[in-house]
Amino acid sequence: MEKYDLMIIGAGAAGLTAGIYASRAKLNTVIINEGVVGGQMVLTEEVANYPGVETTKGYMLANTMKTQAKSFGCKIRSNVKITSYALEDPVKSVTLEDGRSFSADAVILTPGGRPRSLNIPGEDQFKGTGISYCATCDGDFFTGKEVIVVGGGNSALEEAVALTNFATKVTIVHQFDHFQAFEHAIKEAQNNPKIEFIMESELREFIGDTTLEKVTIEHLPTGNMSEMNIDGVFIFVGYLPNTESLAGLVALNERNEIIVDPDMKTPIPGMFAAGDCIAKKYRQVTTAVADGTIAALSASEFLRTRNTKAAPKPASLSVQG
């Protein structure tokens, strides 16, 4: 079993940031990641709102974070499969599919999350080349163009309004005849002259060559199909934290998000969580970086306090006259 001071589960923006901070603080740190290093960053065509960086490819930002973490001594084990967790004991451990085990005195959970997909033909093909799940990240790339927003909750309507700062026209496609958003969000969207609505309808296919060109829409009450030329589609039909394997091991809310306090602590001593897997409102690269920073600092404090309490007291000296 490989033994570390700190173990980080997940190598997205939060996990890599935690690795940078912890390793630079001289903690023996390992990041264990079940997929490609970078998380949601690698799916972003361009990142144009990361402070201090004018514009960069998502995978390039992820690679820079990875290189920086490794330069401070952080070990990264990626493209592995975790088959079991033991996280409640003072020494936390995980076992991989290949039989290897890792343990540490503290753990930071950063498995990330993923936008809920429509799971229709063409969606995987045009992710990043016409299909987006983040208006804040990608809205600027659709300046002067026409886009569709899919969804009827607060996020969908609020992001649709935000997109009117860039797009010439925003069409909201929603499966019901009413919205699930708050009244003020509905009114704001309805009063925006750039926004149109296609209700009781769902997208059935994304069509294009190298980039998205049009979509097929079904009107649910009638079953009628129609095609619509479009420059981009933004999908806001929910968000899924990658916490399925952690059920029963850590406190989750009704949306399966990990519950933490402002210091990224979970109720289990020595266990922290950060990034898109935790219960919070905003999910951006910058917020994940902030979460990872706080989690690493909290974990460092936990380990320092624990080691101080565990250290033997020096023997008292007696002076004879």
Which of the residues are catalytic? 134, 137-138
Q: Return the CA Rg of the chain.
A: 23
Residue-level length of the chain: 321
- CA neighbor of 72 nearest in space, from 135, 22, 36: 22
Name the β-bridge partners of 6. Answer: 29, 106
Three-state SS annotation for 136-204: HHHHHHHCCCEEEEECCCHHHHHHHHHHCCCCCEEEEECCCCCCCCCHHHHHHHHCCCCEEEECCEEEE
* Rounded CA separation 24/154 (Å): 40
Strand order from edge to edge, sheet including 146-150: 131-132, 232-235, 146-150, 169-173, 195-198
